[in-house]
Structure 1
Amino acid sequence: MSALPERSLFRRLMLGFCGVMLAIWLANLAWDIHETHTTKQRDMQRELRASALRILVLMQTVDGRPPAQIRPLLHKMEELHYALYRDLGWYVPALQTQVWRHGQLLYASGAPVPAAAAPERLAVPDGWVAVIESDPATGVTVRMATQVIGEWLLQTSSIGYYLAPLLFSLPFLLLPAWYIIRVGLRPLRSIVAEIEERSGTDLTPLAPSPFRELSPLVDSVNRLMRRLVERLEREQEFLADAAHELKTPLSIIQINAESLAHAHTPQRVQEAGEGLRQGVRRATHTVHQLLALARSGPDSDAAPLRALDLVELVCDRLALAGPLAAARHIDLELEAPDLCAMCLHRESMAALIDNVVGNAIKYSPDSGRVAVTITADAGLITLAVRDEGAGIAPGFQRKVFERFYRLPDQDQPGSGLGLAIAERAAIRNRGSIALANRDDGPGLCVQVTFDVTMAVR
């Protein structure tokens, strides 16, 4: 499996900062364009109207003169309009001036606005504004049109006008941002360095972080370390208990093996051989129980729960327990519906059934009865196993779930792991297990309860 490409949190923050800068610049550009097409359009219309009124005043003073004398004056008035932009060093927008007198075109500049058939009709290109002012006393109509400042700003020659502020400000913004982000990530690098400097056995908690943003990370790491410490302690305890439990059958095997090697009579050979077989059986049973205990825990297998028929699974396990029950003439009874589909982990659930049913057979008297029932009622699915043994005193009903714990004065052979396996398997399958002495006679009832929401409908 190929490794994922390494990604940089520092680069991610810098790109985010640049993205914010770009978004602000684009918003400013959009606002500038909006201003160009609204506010500046009204401003230029006012400037045009002022120029047109000045031309009307001029026409009043030269009324009666021939057109050849008036046109130079009108051209000079048009030049005064241009002078406003030239003196300020601004871009000079295109301008169209038309002066009509008594319906006849007296003057027209050469800008690309076509002359109309009448002074009242005015058609201007996109991006232009126009005004029409008339003086009824002299019969003069002035039409003026100009290019709106802003259309030219968006041309290729004016791109630098917008890019220059962004480009000039980048070094003064990115360098402080680079420094701030590096300093801001320093506490995170300190946590990484603290973890890297530890040995493989040092699981002590990290020091609390003074930063609110890093406190959840430190707390999560510390919780993980606590869980690792607890798991290691459980495993060490498990290994110690397992070694102690295996010591007895291994001692029996060793003693009988030595006796068998030095036996001189057939009777002694037979006794040593039987003791050797008994030690092997006990050691084998303990090892199998230890493996079942390790596999029944919730963290031992990441396999998801699958839809299974609980009734079918119980029938299969009872069939395997049949020879053990038949050897002591114990009846196995099952009362269950035809189908009970649930989400289960098959291996751990089989271990639960085997241990609970096996204990019921072991502690029931000869020719007794073990009843297994499966019910679905009030939102719960319950698996109950009832035997006819001596039961367990209430004060010991929780202790028997501890690993390797055996009741006082218990003469039945065993490892003390059966109910511990059953409890862990119940948790693995999202259920719970409880013990209670029977009310209808001697015996113990083991009840495993599952939430019905885990069942497949």
Structure 2
Amino acid sequence: MTGLPERSLFRRLMLGFFGVVLVIWLANLAWDIHETRTTKQRDMQRELRASALRILVLMQTVDSRPPEEIAPLVRKMEALHYALYRELGWYVPALQTQVWRRGQLVYASGDAGPITATVAGIAPQRPPLPDGWVVAEESDPATGVTVRMATQVIGEWLLQTSSIGYYLAPLLFSLPFLLLPAWYIVRVGLGPLRGIVAEIEERSANALTPLAPSPFRELSPLVASVNRLMRRLVERLEREQEFLADAAHELKTPLSIIQINADALAHAHTPQRIQEAGEGLRQGVRRATHTVHQLLALARSGPDSDAAPRQALDLVQLVCDRLALAGPLAAARQIELELQAPDLCAMYLHRESMAALIDNVVGNAIKYSPDGGRVAVSITADAGLIMLAVRDEGPGIAPAAQRKVFERFYRLPDQDQPGSGLGLAIAERAAQRNLGGITLGNCEDGPGLCVQVTFDVTLAAG
């Protein structure tokens, strides 16, 4: 089909692989954010509390010293707190410390920050902390010492826009090492598929032998489907060749009659001979014309003849229309046409093929019924089935031959009525096209043949 943009399965697989990598990266990012805001915060608050307790113990031993002697000792304790993060080598969080003794601030690290210094003599204040900071406060009522420490949570700074490269760098650096092997693996993995394409391309139009089985589980259904398609094509070509051979053989007889009578007409010298040759010529033309019409009807009645959809039709009205067309043929032999049917029988049918079915079945019934006989057509519905039956008063068909008469160009050996042997073949294919089935049976209450076409209501309804 032209006009559609060409799509690439290779590109589809690569984009899918990249999408998986991106989803994993986003999931890892989300987990890191969650860990930063919950687990890290809890862990760092525990470490901060331990440092505050160490400073509190230290203050118990130096309680009598002046503030200028206490400050170096507290800074050493802060250094111990920093030592853990310096070992990480990539980031040391900010830290603020306040030490109070009997309501007097004796130590404060930094000039400002999350913990604001208070006026001497006032108890330690608790101002709100900015996002990304945790605080720990420990007190000793016996000595009146309070230690309050606050630190920045490791990882919160990574959430800032200025540090987004920390997250993008692993993705960007790892993509070449992931996509290049993926490109190679996908390209090699699609090699067997390209091999199947090359094998099909190298074949001629007449090479419809099956493809070799694929050792790959994923390609086996594809190879099996192609082989089934080739098998159906071979069967269809064989049917068409057989059909052409049978059609040529069937047309040979009327054409020979036409040729013989045309030659006789050209050399005839008496009126009687001219009349006989002309009648033979017209008979040959009628027989050839009937055969050609039947061949066309057979070709159009099959399920693969065209894509015309079925449509909602009244089966009763369609049968009435076809019986009206068959009326002159029945009247010429004084055959009575009888119809028993409800007022309406709506179904989804293919009009042309269904008309061919009715014409051939009713035409055969008229042709094989004796002069002055009766052809009964009925439409009934029972147990979810719609049945169209045509009964005649002819000689019937032996049970052993009732299956063979559906074959193309088959005619009963003792048959003296003219015909092409295509009528019932057309009817069978037309019934299949309309999702029905056709059966034959001899009448039990007298001579004649009963042709019954059955439709399932659930299928025939559309």
> What do residues 120-147 of structure 1 show as CA deviations (whole Å, max 9, x unaligned)?
7453222211111011121011111111
Cα distance in 1 between the residues matched to 2:204 and 2:183? 34
Q: TM-score, normalised by structure 2?
A: 0.94
**Residue 353 (structure 2) pairs with residue 348 (structure 1):** yes
> What do residues 291-333 of structure 1 show as CA deviations (whole Å, max 9, x unaligned)?
0000000111222221111001000000000010011111100
Counterpart residue identity of residue 363, structure 1 = Y
Q: CA deviation at 1:162?
A: 2.4
Cα distance in 1 between the residues matched to 2:286 and 2:123? 121
Q: Which secondary structure does the structure 2 equivalent of 1:198 belong to?
A: coil
Q: Which secondary structure does the structure 2 equivalent of 1:210 belong to?
A: coil
Maintained 8 Å contact 1:52/1:143: yes
Counterpart residue identity of residue 105, structure 2 = L
Q: Which residue of 1 aligns with 2:151?
A: 146
Q: CA deviation at 1:79?
A: 4.9
Counterpart residue identity of residue 174, structure 1 = L
**Residue 9 (structure 2) pairs with residue 6 (structure 1):** no
Q: Which residue of 1 aligns with 2:403?
A: 398
Maintained 8 Å contact 1:384/1:447: yes
> What do residues 70-92 of structure 1 show as CA deviations (whole Å, max 9, x unaligned)?
44544554455445434643323
Out of 108, 111, 114, the position equivalent to 2:113 is 111
**Residue 142 (structure 2) pairs with residue 137 (structure 1):** yes
Maintained 8 Å contact 1:431/1:450: yes
Cα distance in 2 between the residues matched to 1:119 and 1:456? 88
Q: What is the alpha-carbon root mean square deviation over aligned residues?
A: 1.9
Cα distance in 2 between the residues matched to 1:261 and 1:115? 135
Cα distance in 2 between the residues matched to 1:88 and 1:362? 105
Maintained 8 Å contact 1:113/1:125: no
> What do residues 26-70 of structure 1 show as CA deviations (whole Å, max 9, x unaligned)?
222222222222332222112212221232233223323344444
Q: Which secondary structure does the structure 1 equivalent of 2:323 belong to?
A: helix
Q: CA deviation at 1:270?
A: 1.3
Counterpart residue identity of residue 113, structure 1 = I
Out of 264, 272, 284, the position equivalent to 1:259 is 264
Counterpart residue identity of residue 89, structure 1 = G
Counterpart residue identity of residue 144, structure 1 = M
Q: Which secondary structure does the structure 1 equivalent of 2:206 belong to?
A: coil
Q: Which residue of 2 aligns with 1:25?
A: 25
Q: Which residue of 1 aligns with 2:327?
A: 322
Report matched runs for 1:212-227 at 5 Å.
Answer: 212-227=217-232
Cα distance in 1 between the residues matched to 2:234 and 2:131? 77
- Equivalenced residues, count: 457
Cα distance in 2 between the residues matched to 1:315 and 1:138? 117
Cα distance in 2 between the residues matched to 1:420 and 1:248? 20
Cα distance in 1 between the residues matched to 2:303 and 2:123? 94
Identity of aligned residues (%): 86
Specify every segment of 5 or more residues in structure 1 that has no aligned partner in the other structure, as ranges. Answer: none
Cα distance in 2 between the residues matched to 1:196 and 1:113? 79
**Residue 301 (structure 2) pairs with residue 296 (structure 1):** yes
Cα distance in 1 between the residues matched to 2:44 and 2:373? 109
Q: TM-score, normalised by structure 1?
A: 0.95
Cα distance in 1 between the residues matched to 2:84 and 2:342? 99
Counterpart residue identity of residue 325, structure 1 = A
Q: Which residue of 2 aligns with 1:244?
A: 249
Q: Which residue of 1 aligns with 2:442?
A: 437
Report matched runs for 1:51-90 at 5 Å.
Answer: 51-71=51-71, 73-75=73-75, 77-86=77-86, 88-90=88-90
Q: Which residue of 1 aligns with 2:276?
A: 271
Cα distance in 2 between the residues matched to 1:317 and 1:86? 100
Cα distance in 1 between the residues matched to 2:14 and 2:421? 61
> What do residues 133-172 of structure 1 show as CA deviations (whole Å, max 9, x unaligned)?
0111210111111111111122234333323332332222
Maintained 8 Å contact 2:434/2:460: no
Cα distance in 2 between the residues matched to 1:88 and 1:218? 58
Cα distance in 2 between the residues matched to 1:87 and 1:2? 66
Q: CA deviation at 1:3?
A: 2.1
| Higher alpha-carbon deviation: 167-176 or 133-142 | 167-176
Maintained 8 Å contact 2:316/2:342: yes
Q: Which secondary structure does the structure 2 equivalent of 1:343 belong to?
A: strand
Cα distance in 2 between the residues matched to 1:454 and 1:173? 54
Cα distance in 2 between the residues matched to 1:241 and 1:430? 27
Cα distance in 2 between the residues matched to 1:302 and 1:113? 83
Q: Which residue of 1 aligns with 2:391?
A: 386
Q: Which secondary structure does the structure 1 equivalent of 2:343 belong to?
A: coil
Counterpart residue identity of residue 189, structure 1 = R
Cα distance in 2 between the residues matched to 1:84 and 1:452? 83
Cα distance in 2 between the residues matched to 1:160 and 1:295? 70
